[in-house]
Amino acid sequence: MTDSGRPLLVAALLLAAGSCACAAPGGGPSLHALQGAGALSPFDGQQVAGVRGVVTSVQGRGFTLQSPPGEEDGDERTSEGLLVVRADSASPPAMPAVGDLLVVDGVVHERRSESRPNDLTVTTLEARSWTRERSGQPLPAPVTLGPGGRPLPCAIADGADGPGALATLESLEGMLVEVRAAIVVAPTTTSGDVVVVVDPARVVAPSAGGRGLLPAACDGRDGERLLLDDLLAKMPRADAGDRLSAPLIGVLGYAWGRYRLHPLATPEVERGGLLAETAAVPPDGALTVASYNVKNLAATSPRSRFAALARQIVEALHAPAIVALEEIQDDSGPQDDGTVSAALTLRKLTDAIVAAGGPAYRAVALPPEDDRDGGEKGGNIRVAFLLREEGGLAAAAEPERVEPGSAAWTSARKPLALRVEWQGRPLLLLANHWSSRLADDADFGARQPPQRPSSERRVAQAAVVAAYLDARLAAEPGLGAIVLGDFNDCESSPALVNLQGDGRLECLTGDVPTGRRHTTLFQGDAQALDHILITPDLRRAASSLTYGPVHLNVEFAEQASDHDPVLLVLALRR
């Protein structure tokens, strides 16, 4: 594990030389000595006795200790808190209570989940025994994080200006932390997580063309995001843009690739009033095209999900003539039974659209090979089209998958190509769902800077799509193209830049203000991953063109999908 540029070796040498306040009144090493001034404890693997501290939280079979008031070392590099876990072989008394002053014996470990080898380690004391000196002790004063206290930097790694967010949070591991003015930038998840920013000045306000969220960042390097979870207290329902109306105190911990604050009590929420959007009614005769990742939609999904998606397509998007869908699963969903057809899944969606007052869409899709296209095992996700074959739109050829034998699509969704005609003009539609970022390192992981191996896969996929498109356009002069989908990358990424080439395509995301481009919110990072690209001749031929995400889901705790759709409204000159 990296040390984030902090002087672990120097701290260890000072410790060995007796140059720091190592001993606590209990006779054992102090908590700040166990934590050390670096990312790893200088006591890792050692047995210690007489470790003294006040219990600040009880977490299942473990608890957190913090140095009693007056016993701190005053060094911001060293945490005064520590996670204590009960050893399986130990037989201490009953679990302690918050406010107990304990003296603990045990072994220090740098613990990391075996299933997540690139996560940071957490300094932990595996307790063999403990004794309670007294109960009802006042808790140490929390460290204020953000305005009025210790700043939480935007940069994750250390830089010329000082410690980054990773080092700042590591130095508070296991301690009581207070946040005074948090604003929600990602809504409450089904697992009880909420993401906040401790400095509201960082978000792009609606008055500045944003949606009250963090600025969109391609590389996800927004260090000031802080995840709140429900380990110690239930999290309230909160939407993006809501504020925590009172100071929040919790214990800082780390799990699943992120530092997270465990609030001691359920936060109070002041509603921000952010509303779901509805697209403008398109002008008569305009071509409307949407792309929508519908999050593992299967015939086995609840009827309510089909109904919610149908209402959004009909009411918020005004039933576009063309809808590219990503993450359509087979008819048996994640059941790995050899089923590959998604006919029932698509029929349930088109029937729900009709029930919501929409048109009768024709679904166009091709089944993948079983368990060969990635995604949830057994789900066989694929891309598909919904077509309103009316008003001058008609499919003019059979669909085909783009170079399905290419190594670029190993365990990945193959793009779907469909030639259509719009009012007599030939158009090539290319629906995409490129490789996800799941294999990439976490922002707050052991490797700094994080490795992004998935980027290379998307660059290779962009090259395949570009070559296919070049061949089709060369073979049919006058053919326009609309390339759309979930690219799992931002418009300025190498993959999307290469796909656009030297005038091959234009990515319409660049037309959208930065604070409104996002189509996903991954742990509070507002990302534009869904795009529509068009050939330049289509823009030149347009009498009007509007494009942008329609924010329906990702900012709200109640979601039909974990993506927002993007919508193009294109009026072509006759």
Position 161 scores a pLDDT of 81
93 — pLDDT class (breaks 50, 70, 90):
low
29-70 per-position pLDDT tens digit: 999 999 999 889 999 999 999 999 999 999 988 999 999 999
E strand residue ranges, 393-504: 393-395, 400-401, 416-422, 425-433, 480-486
| pLDDT at residue number 351 | 98
pLDDT at 115 over 90: no
- Looking at 229-297, which runs of residues are DSSP E strands? 243-244, 248-255, 258-263, 269-270, 287-297
Residue 173 and residue 79 in contact, taking contact as beta carbons nearer than 8 Å? yes
Lowest mean pLDDT among 23-32, 128-137, 226-235, 437-446: 23-32
Longest dimension (CA), the chain: 88
Backbone angles phi, psi at 460, to 5 degrees: -65, -40
Distances (CA, A) of 73 to 23, 78, 144, 488, 530: 11, 8, 17, 46, 49
Of 7-21, 158-172, 284-298, 449-463, the range with the lowest mean pLDDT is: 7-21
The least confident of 38-47, 89-98, 141-150 is 89-98
Residue 5 falls in which region: left (phi positive, over 0), alpha (psi -120 to 50) or beta: left
pLDDT over 90 (residue 109): yes
The answer to whether the beta carbons of residues 336 and 300 sit under 8 Å apart is no
pLDDT over 60 (residue 283): yes
Q: What structural domains does the chain harbor?
A: 8-134 (2.40.50.140), 143-270 (2.40.50), 287-572 (3.60.10.10)
Whole-number pLDDT of residue 200 = 83
The distance of Cα 159 from the centroid of its chain, to the nearest Å, equals: 24
Q: Which of 571, 514, 500 is nearest to 539 (CA)?
A: 571
Local confidence band at 207 (pLDDT 50, 70, 90 cut-offs):
low
Which has the closest alpha carbon to 447: 114, 161, 117? 117
- Where residue 523 falls among pLDDT bands split at 50, 70, 90? confident
Residue 210's pLDDT band, with cuts at 50, 70 and 90, is: confident
Binned at pLDDT 50, 70 and 90, residue 7 comes out as very low
> CA-to-CA distance for 467 and 464, rounded, in angstroms?
5
pLDDT of residue 19: 34
User: What are the pLDDT digits (tens) for 488-520?
Assistant: 999 999 999 999 999 999 999 999 998 899 999
- Position 23 scores a pLDDT of 64
Indicate the SS3 state at residue 197.
strand
CA 382 to chain centre: 22
Helices (H) and strands (E) in the chain, counts: 8, 29
Question: Cβ-count burial of 463 within 10 angstroms (0-12 exposed, 13-18 middle, 19+ buried)?
Answer: middle
Mind giving me the DSSP string for 528-547? --EEEEE-HHHHHTEEEEEE
User: Sign of torsion, CA 288 212 451 437?
Assistant: negative
Predicted local confidence at residue 562, as pLDDT:
97
pLDDT digits (tens, 9 = 90+) for 542-568: 999 999 999 999 999 999 999 999 999
Those residues with Cβ within 8 angstroms of residue 351's Cβ, 6 or more apart along the chain or in another chain: none
pLDDT at 26 over 80: no
Give the C-alpha separation, 89 to 128, whole Å.
Answer: 8
- Residue 206 — pLDDT band, cuts 50, 70, 90? low
pLDDT per residue as tens digits for the range 325-373: 999 999 999 999 999 999 999 999 999 999 999 999 999 999 999 999 9
Angle 40-49-42 (CA atoms, 0-180°, nearest 5)? 15
pLDDT greater than 50 at residue 20: no
Q: Are 365 and 328 in contact (CB under 8 A)?
A: yes
Candidates 455, 385, 422, 378; CA nearest to 571 is 422
Contact present, 49 and 28 (Cβ < 8 Å): yes
Checking if the pLDDT of 216 tops 90, the result is no
Beta strands in 464-558 (DSSP E): 480-486, 506-507, 520-522, 525-527, 530-534, 542-549
